């Protein structure tokens, strides 16, 4: 089952990066407390979390991490053994360069989730089937 989780890095590592963007008062702002909340909730090793942050830091600020309300952490992070290379699970990354692209990406992800997992993490098969979503993959 390892490769059935899409770690569109944007999605499944949302709450551990401390740099997901959340919509607040019509603005996207960094959710700086997310990493701390996640580490406390799941007892993650802070060094491991920092390792993941270094591994998956987005190259563009608007590259927001999708998967709000810890939905992805529940689905993916708890399955990620701290001794394994995260790339055993990470199969793709997506990039959205503008707010409009980001919002379109969220809609596509949500649409995928309704059909497939429904847990905030997009299944790899869904990305393969969805041409629009594939456009975001790099």
Q: Quick: pLDDT tens for 104-114.
A: 766 776 666 55
136 pLDDT band, cuts 50/70/90, is low
Residue 101 structural domain: 2-134
Buried b (16+ CB within 10 A) or exposed e, 65-93: bbbbebbbbbbbbeebeeeeebeebbbbb
Number of domains composing the chain: 1
The whole-model pTM stands at: 0.32
């Amino acid at each position: 089952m390892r490769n059935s989780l899409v770690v569109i890095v944007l999605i499944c590592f949302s709450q551990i990066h401390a740099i997901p963007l959340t919509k607040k008062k019509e603005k996207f702002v960094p959710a700086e407390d997310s990493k701390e909340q996640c580490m406390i909730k799941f007892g993650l090793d802070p060094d491991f979390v920092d390792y993941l942050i270094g591994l998956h830091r987005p190259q563009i600020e608007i590259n927001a991490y999708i998967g709000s309300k810890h939905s992805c952490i529940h689905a993916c992070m708890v399955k990620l053994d701290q001794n394994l290379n995260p790339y055993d699970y990470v199969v793709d990354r997506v990039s959205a360069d503008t707010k409009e692209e980001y919002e379109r990406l969220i809609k596509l992800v949500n649409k995928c989730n309704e059909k497939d997992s429904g847990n905030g993490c997009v299944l790899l098969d869904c990305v393969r089937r969805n041409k629009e979503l594939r456009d975001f993959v790099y």
